[in-house]
Structure 1
Amino acid sequence: MTGRFADRAAVVTGGASGIGRAVADALAHEGARVAVLDRERPGDEHHWEECDVADGASVDRAVSSAAEALGRLDTVVNNAGVGAQGDVAANDDDEWLRVLNVNVVGMVRVARAALPHLRASDAASITNTASIASTAGLPQRVLYSATKGAVLSMTKAMAADHVREGVRVNCVAPGTADTPWVQRLLDVADDPVAERAALEARQPHGRLVGADEVARAVVYLADPLNRSTVGVCLSVDGGMEALRLRSR
């Protein structure tokens, strides 16, 4: 086995499709043994543990089983999450609690279950999936933005707590990505073609972000050789957060 993650073991939540699947494939390409934790089976490319990150018992069982199957655990990618739309009045308390439970507390559950295994590694890392919504105000995304802002803040606090234990914590912040989840949103839009064009236009490079591009950023953050990369939020958004271009 060769690659940056040779002899390493990784867990990817939400790895059955989209960004999570691209991350699992990229880590495996770099030599990692990969376990996908998801409610859906991704296929036979990687070890699979059925897991619902909204349920603590499910997470504890899946992480423990994955670590046993892989023989160790060096890398955790907290990618599982759900979307939410609307302004601040659009969702009731139950929906707020449901989305927070998956997108924020779900990452907490996975990290908490994985930490005992990660502390035994000489190159441990946790990479959380944040979003452009962590730092930029997007219309009709109040609930989703609140959860992803929490992921960004939580990542930095976790990094401070665990850096001296040898566990690096970072996050990746994708722009709007070309994934099945985004495609489902486009499918129910009044004018899917116009909606896609609008999403592409708001990113300075003029297109949706590829899942493979996000995966390469995750691989960089988790790379065992990048030991001084800690508490970082790496944007993969075509310049959406940082650039202010003039109109054409």
Structure 2
Amino acid sequence: MDLGLKGMKAILVGANGGIGRKVAQTLAAEGCNVAICGRTQDKVDKVEGELKPTGVTVYAEALDVTDPATVPAFVTKAADALGGCDIFISFTSVNPGEDTDEAWQTVLNVDILPLRRGVEAAMPFLEASDAGSIICLSSTGAVEDFMGVQPYNALKAAVSNYASALSQALAAKGIRANCITPGPVMCEDGPWVHIKENMTEFYDSILAQIPTGRLTDGEELAKTIAFVASPACKAMTGANIVVDGGFTKRVQF
């Protein structure tokens, strides 16, 4: 299937590792021009080096997404370098794992505000696209109990609501907005490698709840995201796609 991604322009916030890196690789392999950013220069340089052999245009920058000015500036520079923006995705995320004022503010600053600021900055470019697409990343922690009371779960639920509201507000402008809700995802540079090696009992307890008997592979999730973001999925907007190997037990409708 031709996803129609060749020659398109994707701006990815926080794609210097984990799921974001996998999505950047998948989009570039489909011929999509890609802009990435991340906190660590070495990691940004590594991903940029992985993408350039595909022959697509790549823009990369190291920045701190908690600074209110950085994400909008990155989006503007990235759109200038790529010649526009057809796809916008924000991957930045943190889970302090505690219910404190400080933790709530941390998740808000890393997960929520960079997404909102990025969407706002990308809007003029998405409006000029004939296939504008926004992907928001939530978590199965937003839809079922996971590790008790904590801001990560609650604010990931806010991401799902935000994506739904965007889909209604932007549909008439030809811009789609969808939410991807992953369960535990195994990437070679992601947190579940550390959990598997250092929190064995917890890891095993999570694995036992997944009917497929394994964590979702990062590349598998990236392919799902690429499809939903692509013109091949042009009729879908306002959807919440759960990708978790059956980890969540609710009926998905």
TM-score normalised by the chain length of structure 2: 0.87
CA distance in 1, matches of 2:4, 2:207: 33
Pairs within 5 Å for 1:87-166: 91-140=99-148, 142-166=150-174
CA distance in 1, matches of 2:59, 2:177: 24
The structure carrying a bigger helix percent of its residues is 2
Task: Give the direction of change, closer, same or farther, for the CA distance of 1:42–1:187 in structure 2 (3 Å limit).
Answer: farther
Q: Secondary structure at the match of 2:186?
A: coil
Give the equivalent residue in structure 2 for 1:58: 70
User: Match for 1:195: what amino acid?
Assistant: F
Spell out, residue by residue over 1:67-88, the C-alpha distance to the aligned partner (whole angstroms, 9 max, x if none): 01111110011211112313xx
Gaps of 5+ in 1: none
Give the equivalent residue in structure 1 for 2:8: 8
Give the equivalent residue in structure 2 for 1:22: 22
Give the equivalent residue in structure 2 for 1:219: 226
CA distance in 2, matches of 1:136, 1:16: 28
Give the equivalent residue in structure 2 for 1:181: 191
Measured after TM superposition, the shift of residue 21 of structure 1 is 0.4
Identity %: 31
Contact residue 12 and residue 79 of structure 1 kept, 8 A: yes
Contact residue 3 and residue 29 of structure 1 kept, 8 A: no
CA distance in 2, matches of 1:243, 1:147: 20
TM-score normalised by the chain length of structure 1: 0.89
CA distance in 1, matches of 2:216, 2:223: 12
Contact residue 16 and residue 36 of structure 1 kept, 8 A: yes
RMSD: 1.8
Measured after TM superposition, the shift of residue 243 of structure 1 is 6.3
Contact residue 195 and residue 203 of structure 2 kept, 8 A: no
Contact residue 178 and residue 240 of structure 2 kept, 8 A: yes
Q: Secondary structure at the match of 1:56?
A: coil
Task: Give the direction of change, closer, same or farther, for the CA distance of 1:145–1:243 in structure 2 (3 Å limit).
Answer: closer
User: Match for 1:183: what amino acid?
Assistant: V
